[in-house]
Amino acid sequence: MVVAAPLLRSLRRLPRRTLLAGAAGLAMLGFLAVTPAPEAPVVEHLPAQGPVTDPPLYYVRPRMRSVALTFDISWGHRTLPQVLDILRREGVRATFFLSGPWAEHHPDLVRAIVAGGHEVASHGQEHVNLSQFDAAYIRQNIERSHAILKQLSGQIPRFFRPPNGDFDDLVVRTARSLGYETVIWAVDSLDWKNPGASYMVERVRKLVFPGAIVLFHASDSSRQVHEALPAVLADLKARGYRLLTLGELYRQGEPGRVDPRGDPDYPPVREADVAPGQEPGLAPGRTPRR
Ligand SMILES: [Zn+2]
């Protein structure tokens, strides 16, 4: 993963057109026997690491052992129903960051998310790195998706995850002026790399801590998330974690605004210091419905 980071950083500087041309070239070589997708799958990156004076949310210092699972969606309709099925079976609610165009194309799936008792949040309109744009564009990006999400979900989204986790002070402040808290994550499951279910389960198991915001995707580019989720949930429940929506977690304590990723003192909150949020070892599926 360390080796991949510089490559990703250099890839993100390339114009999108160049990347698409590269992908098209590979496809023509016959290595990728895939049906062209109606919307291009999106590769997520690590957030910008520049100096930030107005930081976003990475985690919460909770009163009890709890965690928020978050799923970004900007493409596809196959992965999400599988994810929703698992969450329903396990009695777990989560937060879904929806892009405006995706929601517009899949109103039935937006309704399924709401019917599952989940929280709808915003992933913006165009899936671009917002730190490259001015305030007017950022405002328009957030406002357009807000109108769509509000209308289709009946919820008023309060959390905004910028595309690719890319942000700067202007993004955070503009989002705040529109009533949004900008949310990154503390734990990236790396599901967008499709590294295999057991890798993802082990990664989340090792990195999770009380109050962590965990990143998954329910876009179709995330092809293994449904294989990893049952074991991730079983592990968290066995360790006494309650699984909350972001809104619920937010009300649990102080917002964590210092990026914990790569910090030598990781994790910022120790599991042993926080009382279990539910009876440890409660079997999956036996969580009381809320
Ligand atoms: Zn995204």
Question: pLDDT digits over 38-89, tens only?
Answer: 333 344 445 554 678 899 999 999 999 999 999 999 999 999 999 999 999 9
Among 72, 168, 188, 259, the one annotated catalytic: 72
Among 106, 123, 146, 217, the one annotated catalytic: 217
pLDDT of residue 278: 84
Count other C-beta atoms under 10 Å from residue 290's C-beta.
Answer: 9
Count other C-beta atoms under 10 Å from residue 10's C-beta.
Answer: 9
Measured CA to CA, the distance from residue 97 to residue 110 in angstroms comes to 11
pLDDT of residue 50: 64
What is the value of pTM for the model shown?
0.82
Distance 243 CA to ligand 1 centre (A): 22
pLDDT of residue 280: 79
pLDDT of residue 51: 73
Distance 72 CA to ligand 1 centre (A): 6
Burial tier of 21 (Cβ tally within 10 Å: 0-12, 13-18, 19+):
exposed
Fold classification of 59-257 (topology level) = TIM Barrel (3.20.20)
Give yes or no: 217 in active site: yes
Give yes or no: 146 in active site: no
Residue ranges in the chain whose pLDDT is less than 50: 1-45, 49, 285, 287-290
Distance 221 CA to ligand 1 centre (A): 10
Beta strands in the chain (DSSP E): 59-62, 66-73, 95-98, 119-122, 159-160, 181-182, 187-188, 213-217, 242-244, 253-256
pLDDT of residue 46: 52
pLDDT of residue 47: 54
pLDDT of residue 3: 39
Distance 9 CA to ligand 1 centre (A): 16
Domain segments of the chain as ranges: 59-257
